[in-house]
Structure 1
Amino acid sequence: MITPRSPAAHTARLRRLQVTGLALLVLTGTLNYLDRSALSIANGAIREEMQLTLGQMGILLSAFSWSYAVAQLPIGGVIDRFRPRVVLAIGIIVWSVAQAACGLVRSFGAFIGARVVLGVGESPQYPAAARVVSDWFPRDRRGMPTGIFNAASPLGTALAPPLLSLIIIAWGWREMFVVLGIAGFFVAAIWWVMYRNPADVALLPEERAYIDDGAADGPRKPALAEWGALFRHGTTWAMILGFFGSVYLNWLYLTWLPSYLQIERGMDTIKSGFAAFVPFFCGFIGCLVAGWLSDWLVRRTGSVLLGRKYLVVAAMFGMAAFTLPGALVASNAVALACISAAVFLANVASVGSWALVSAVAPSRQVASLGGLQNFGGFIGGALAPIVTGFVVDASGSFVPALAIGAAVVTASAFVYLFGVRRPITPDHDTSADMPDLPAGAPAS
């Protein structure tokens, strides 16, 4: 049963703080994905100027993901200890400097270096967002806010093709990177001025009880040993391996879709830019639908864990089901419709995965577990551009690369299905996982 709460505890001030936090996460997340997408939008212009092969471009596209993935290992624990306000502000500044540097590089090696720093700088965004939602929303009502902050990912990706293509045509690809870097400093200032951690706000006892949701593991900062103990749980490893496939296929579309539309489907830069907007806008809708659907499934199943997990697994199977026909059909319109459905479901899966983090993690380790899951995902995200680039180079077609992506996401769906079975204990005794809990029950 869902834990009953007094409506009076959800005060106007608390709602305002929740809305402000979510709005800022959408702002920072949209910029985050505009910056991530910039290289794929400028793919053709950069390859032409720097004389790069598709394989080399795959390496450049993946450089971000490798550093981003490795940075996920410590960043969740850092966020849990020092809280999102400080860590995300620093992250935005670092990634903005790196983004601007991408417009100034003159060599392939320097470009890789700038992308590596970009990955480190962007690493706090989604673990911090998961922690913000965990801090400000009760456990069984985190699906919708998780969907909202995840919606920034496809929103930024959808805006990138038309917006950045126009900047490239008007000014050039180097200027595009510099403009995005400057924008990041303004966003960092807005985040720092407007966001507050719950500990920095004089909440009423009933307000704090509402958002704490009866959690017994309290506000104490997690120790390093507790972070390491997460690796002793089968649930942790299943989430790492499960997210691998989800991000692999999603990142394949994110990094190669504009080039796929140009190379495989014969579209020019402007047409491919606006065509690529469609799947990523569908992904934006997918995030919003997934947030509502995730909370509905929690109420329907009576289990926070099962409601979140079933959504993830179903969406990942659907990603594979639409990817294959999208690769094989002759019609550009039908292919774009299938790709749009796959990207829609990729974002549904992403929302479910991040909501699943707060369903199984102790409340003081939400960012830590989120970072570990994201580490697994972006190992897949790092491999996808490289594998795709070399497969297309070798075969002359994107079809085998998309088939590999469909196979990987299917395997990872089974990992989530059978591997994520119970929440993680919120104490030092991690010898056994806990049994599943009814929706709204504390994880202790």
Structure 2
Amino acid sequence: MVFLIAAGVLNYIDRATLSVANPLIRADLGIDVAQMGLLLSAFLWAYAFAQLPAGALIDRVGPRLMLTCGLTVWSLAQVLGGIVLSFWQFIGARVLLGLGEAPHFPTCARVARDWFNIRQRGTATGLWNCASSLGTAVAVPILTAVMFLVGWRWMFVVMGAVGIVLALVIYSLFRNPSEVDLTPGERDFLSEGDDAAVADRVSWDDWKRLFAFRTTWGMIAGFFGTIYVLWIYTAWLPGYLEMERHFTISKTGIVGAIPFVFGVVGSIFGGWLVDYLARRGVSPLNARKYPMAASLLLTAIFTAVAAETPNDSLAIGCISVSLFLLYISSSAAWAMASVAAPANTTASIGSMQNFGGYVGGALAPTVTGFIVKASGSFVPALLTGAVIAVVAAILYMVLIDRPIPARDAAGLRAAS
């Protein structure tokens, strides 16, 4: 768990390097604002489309190798970001960053299933998932300090070196359950609730058949809504505070971190809530489904209030509550990956869900920018996010109705 959180925090700090060094990079490389927008989105599209093969690879070769390889690749991409000389070289570095970071969260979902009992997986998921909000909250002060000390290029190189060292440590100390001499009782404890007929390694047929089930599409649609709204705030919160609320840059730097602290709490609480409901007799599927859908609906309400209120303090309070709720929904969604499909496809279905989420994440900054440019206000952009959250919650409730059965088990039942 310590390794997952550390790598997750570094994951989100590394994503933020371009944003923090934005003005210096544009001045140094002669990049205009439109090109910077393409640079920012290059990571997101690469990250989204790399999800699908990444999940299958994780289920095939195991979390230890994929966690190490992904961390190494994205750290090398950071180093390359510090030595680029042109816009297109930087595009290549950001695409490589997206490819390297793609396996991380599906790997975490697989680790939660591999190393935790079914009644512990929600809390475990909430803990590793909080790294995304924690990383976002600490990225600006850490990266700004490093950049002032050594410059923007060395900031990229230093963060890349940190990642490579962490990758070596993880590969040396982390193990998959199959690589550890567990007792039969320990293996039974970890695999409680899993279908014994499932093969250890995922096959092509196992992977592609996931798309035949409503549950998969419900997870994709629900996470699209979660990450869409989350990336409105992640990409545009500083701009919103400065342009819509007329905050100074220094005030924005302080106030802008507050909602993401609420996100850390929401992630951990969401994971705990999933396990609490399961212990109270709610089915593992519904213990994740209900908090996910409810938090999305509440997010829509608080986002709409934040958009419409003229009171700055109320707006910041509503945005903070929205981030708290979004991370509840995120933890519940990732915890769903550990119970919605057979054990050997946990990372696969998690990556499909994350693909849907980051298509939303890639669209949100662009759509928001166009709406703000056309209307001169963030209000319709935030209301659009609220509507998307409501639709996503409804689809999540309607489409997800039962766990996806194992292929072998389904065949045995049909034969009998």
- What TM-score comes out, normalization by structure 2 length? 0.93
- Segment of structure 1 superposing worse, 398-407 or 324-333: 324-333
Maintained 8 Å contact 2:296/2:329: yes
Maintained 8 Å contact 1:229/1:428: no
Choose from 185, 208, 211 the match for 1:231. 211
SS in 1 for 2:200: coil
Maintained 8 Å contact 2:198/2:409: no
- Segment of structure 1 superposing worse, 262-271 or 200-209: 262-271
Seq. identity, %? 46
Deviation track 1:177-204 (CA, whole Å, cap 9, x = no partner) reads 2222121111111211121000000001
CA distance in 1, matches of 2:305, 2:156: 35
Choose from 247, 252, 273 the match for 1:267. 247
Choose from 33, 55, 67 the match for 1:88. 67
* Pair 273,178 (structure 1): closer, same or farther in 2 beyond 3 Å: farther
Shift in Å, 1:344: 0.9
Shift in Å, 1:51: 6.1
The answer for the alignment partner of 1:297 in structure 2 is: 277
Shift in Å, 1:228: 0.7
CA distance in 2, matches of 1:328, 1:101: 43
SS in 2 for 1:151: helix
Q: Within 5 Å, give how 1:410-425 maps onto structure 2.
A: 410-425=390-405
Choose from 102, 113, 121 the match for 2:92. 113
The answer for the alignment partner of 2:378 in structure 1 is: 398
* Pair 178,260 (structure 1): closer, same or farther in 2 beyond 3 Å: farther
Shift in Å, 1:351: 0.2
Coordinate RMSD, CA, aligned: 2.2
Deviation track 1:48-100 (CA, whole Å, cap 9, x = no partner) reads 65666655443322211111111111111100110011111011111011122
Please state if 1:133 is matched with 2:112. yes
- What TM-score comes out, normalization by structure 1 length? 0.87
Unaligned residue ranges in structure 2 (runs of 5+): none
Q: Within 5 Å, give how 1:63-78 maps onto structure 2.
A: 63-78=42-57
Deviation track 1:98-130 (CA, whole Å, cap 9, x = no partner) reads 122223334333322221111100011111000
* Pair 165,267 (structure 1): closer, same or farther in 2 beyond 3 Å: farther
Please state if 1:123 is matched with 2:105. no
Maintained 8 Å contact 2:198/2:406: no
Equivalences, count? 412
Maintained 8 Å contact 1:157/1:280: yes
Choose from 282, 289, 295 the match for 1:315. 295
* Pair 407,60 (structure 1): closer, same or farther in 2 beyond 3 Å: farther
SS in 2 for 1:358: coil
* Pair 279,428 (structure 1): closer, same or farther in 2 beyond 3 Å: same
CA distance in 1, matches of 2:175, 2:46: 28
Maintained 8 Å contact 1:165/1:269: no
CA distance in 2, matches of 1:196, 1:429: 29
Please state if 1:161 is matched with 2:147. no
Shift in Å, 1:422: 0.4
Please state if 1:384 is matched with 2:381. no
The answer for the alignment partner of 1:4 in structure 2 is: none
Shift in Å, 1:249: 0.9
Shift in Å, 1:266: 3.3
The answer for the alignment partner of 2:264 in structure 1 is: 284
Paired residue type of 2:402: R
Maintained 8 Å contact 1:249/1:405: yes
* Pair 312,185 (structure 1): closer, same or farther in 2 beyond 3 Å: same
SS in 2 for 1:265: coil
CA distance in 1, matches of 2:377, 2:21: 21
Paired residue type of 1:366: T
Deviation track 1:299-336 (CA, whole Å, cap 9, x = no partner) reads 33531111110000011112111112223333333222
Please state if 1:324 is matched with 2:286. no
CA distance in 1, matches of 2:180, 2:299: 42
Paired residue type of 1:202: D
